[in-house]
């Protein structure tokens, strides 16, 4: 079976009602990203950061996967599909995708504030101040903040190097190291980009699909399923 790697960003969840980051002048739900998504922000005002992610978690739990998330699960019938997502929501999993790599963590888990790989499931939507990990440190959301290491990037790069087809959905490619993953995909591999605002990419064999995810992803999936039958 051919390997398909799908790199997704906030745009794939936009039609599920979850806001993207850069479509609203750098403001994310009314906050500057730096004020809520950095280790410095956590040091300055942990309660504010905790509350911000509690609210985001609530929105994620209330959201539903959309036609784009579901279409990607159908691809698994004929291809070896791995989704590498920058999103911290769990909509790919809830739609039924079986191999999902979360580059920036997942908001439905908590993590120790002193040891990033110590993570736990969360009961409900809230991490309370005073809730601690087994080392006695405050729990925070299991998300990668600006300025923190991206532990899954090596795994993701190796997956990209083995791609037979590469699909980008709903990402501005503004944030590294995720934005550099396309450079690990072999030159001769066809790369599809589904996004109403196609980001600039200097790469060969790009097929631009300037559509919203719920239109473009099912369209491409149908085409790939048909082709696999030939
Ligand atoms: N369908 C597809 N794409 C869409 C849709 C839609 N309905 N709506 C918006 N988009 C596209 C935008 O055109 C844009 O290119 O989604 C992209 C969203 O870009 P960003 O907001 O920058 O999100 P993303 O690329 O995922 O951000 C990367 O930055 O803030 C950090 O860690 C955070 O993971 C995030 C990373």
Which ipTM value was assigned to this complex?
Answer: 0.98
Ligand 1 site-directed mutation target among 195, 198, 199, 213, most atoms within 8 Å of CB: 195
CA–CA separation, 25 vs 51, rounded Å? 22
Residue 26 predicted with pLDDT over 80: no
Render pLDDT for 181-206 as a digit per residue (tens, 0 to 9): 999 999 999 999 999 999 988 877 99
Nearest residue to 111 via CA among 90, 95, 80, 134: 134
What's the mean pLDDT in 16-34?
78
Q: What is the pLDDT of residues 43-57, one digit of tens each?
A: 999 999 999 999 999
- Which positions ≥6 away from 176 have C-beta within 8 Å? none
Q: What is the pLDDT of residues 114-131, one digit of tens each?
A: 999 999 999 999 999 999
Confidence band, pLDDT 50/70/90 cuts, at residue 224: very high
What was the pLDDT predicted at 228?
A: 84
**Together in a domain, 119 and 224:** no
Decide if 49 contacts 42 (C-beta within 8 A).
Answer: yes
- Positive/negative CA dihedral, 152, 157, 163, 168: positive
User: For residue 171, which atom of ligand 1 is closest to its CA?
Assistant: 25
Tell me if residue 102 is catalytic. Answer: no
Task: Verify that 121 and 199 share a domain, yes or no.
Answer: no
**Residues 124, 177 within the same domain:** no
How many angstroms does the Cα of residue 86 sit away from the middle of ligand 1? 9
* Concatenated DSSP letters of 1-16: --EEEEEE-THHHHTT
112 and 198 together in one domain = no
Tokens matching residue 186: 């072999």
For residue 41, what pLDDT band results from cuts at 50, 70 and 90? very high
* Residue 215 and residue 128 share a domain: no
Tell me which of 25-29, 50-54, 220-224 is least confident: 25-29
Number of the ligand 1 atom closest to the C-alpha atom of 9: 26
Give, in degrees to the nearest 5, the angle at Cα 101 between 95 and 107. 70
Mean of pLDDT values over 21-31: 71
The string of pLDDT tens digits covering residues 74-117 is 999 999 999 999 999 999 999 999 999 999 999 999 999 999 99
**122 and 182 belong to one structural domain:** no
The last residue of a domain, from among 143, 168, 193: 143
Please name the residue whose Cα sits nearest to atom 30 of ligand 1: 21
Let me know whether 166 and 213 are in one domain: yes
Read off the pTM.
0.96
Indicate the helix (H) or strand (E) that contains 167. strand 165-169
Distance CA 203, CA 161 (A): 15
The number of folded domains in the chain is: 2
One domain for residues 179 and 82:
yes
User: Looking at the structure, do residues 9 and 54 belong to the same domain, yes or no?
Assistant: no
Range of the domain at 161: 1-17+65-104+151-230
* 125/201 same-domain check: no
pLDDT, mean over the chain: 94
CATH number of the domain that residue 13 is part of: 3.40.50.1220
Domain containing 134 — which CATH number? 3.30.1600.10
Q: Are 13 and 171 in contact (CB under 8 A)?
A: no
Ligand 1 atom nearest to 178, measured from its CA: 28
pLDDT value of residue 222: 98
| Residues near 118 by beta carbon (within 8 Å), at least 6 away in sequence | 111, 112, 133, 134, 135
Residues flanking ligand 1, CB < 6 Å:
9-11, 14-15, 20-23, 33, 86, 104, 170-172, 174-175, 195-197, 199, 212-213
**Domain boundary residue among 143, 165, 196?**
143
| Pair of tokens at residue 56 | 């985001």
Same domain for 57 and 70? no
* Residues 141-145, mean pLDDT to the nearest whole number: 97
Last residue of a domain, one of 118, 143, 168: 143
Residue 172 is given by DSSP the state -
Pairing between strand 206-209 and 139-143?
A: unpaired
Nearest residue (CA) to ligand 1, atom 35: 86
């Amino acid at each position: 079976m051919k390997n398909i790697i799908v790199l997704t960003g906030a745009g794939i969840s936009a039609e599920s009602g979850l806001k993207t980051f850069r479509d609203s002048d750098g403001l994310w739900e009314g906050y500057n990203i730096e004020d809520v998504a950095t280790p410095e922000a956590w040091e300055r005002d942990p309660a504010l950061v905790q509350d911000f992610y509690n609210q985001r978690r609530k929105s994620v739990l209330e959201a539903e996967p959309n036609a784009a998330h579901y279409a990607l699960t159908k691809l698994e019938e004929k291809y070896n599909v791995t989704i590498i997502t920058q999103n911290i929501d769990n909509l790919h999993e809830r739609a039924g995708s079986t191999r999902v790599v979360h580059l920036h963590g997942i908001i439905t888990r908590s993590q120790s504030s002193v040891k990033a790989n110590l993570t736990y499931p969360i009961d409900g939507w809230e991490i309370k101040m005073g809730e601690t990990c087994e080392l006695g440190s405050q729990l925070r959301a299991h998300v990668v903040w600006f300025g923190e290491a991206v532990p899954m990037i090596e795994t993701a790069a190796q997956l990209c190097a083995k791609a037979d087809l590469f699909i980008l959905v709903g990402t501005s490619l503004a944030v590294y190291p995720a934005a550099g993953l396309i450079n690990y995909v072999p030159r001769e591999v066809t790369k599809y980009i589904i996004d109403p605002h196609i980001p600039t990419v200097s790469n060969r064999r790009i097929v631009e699909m300037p559509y919203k995810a719920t239109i473009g992803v099912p369209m491409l999936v149908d085409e790939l399923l048909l082709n696999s039958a030939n």
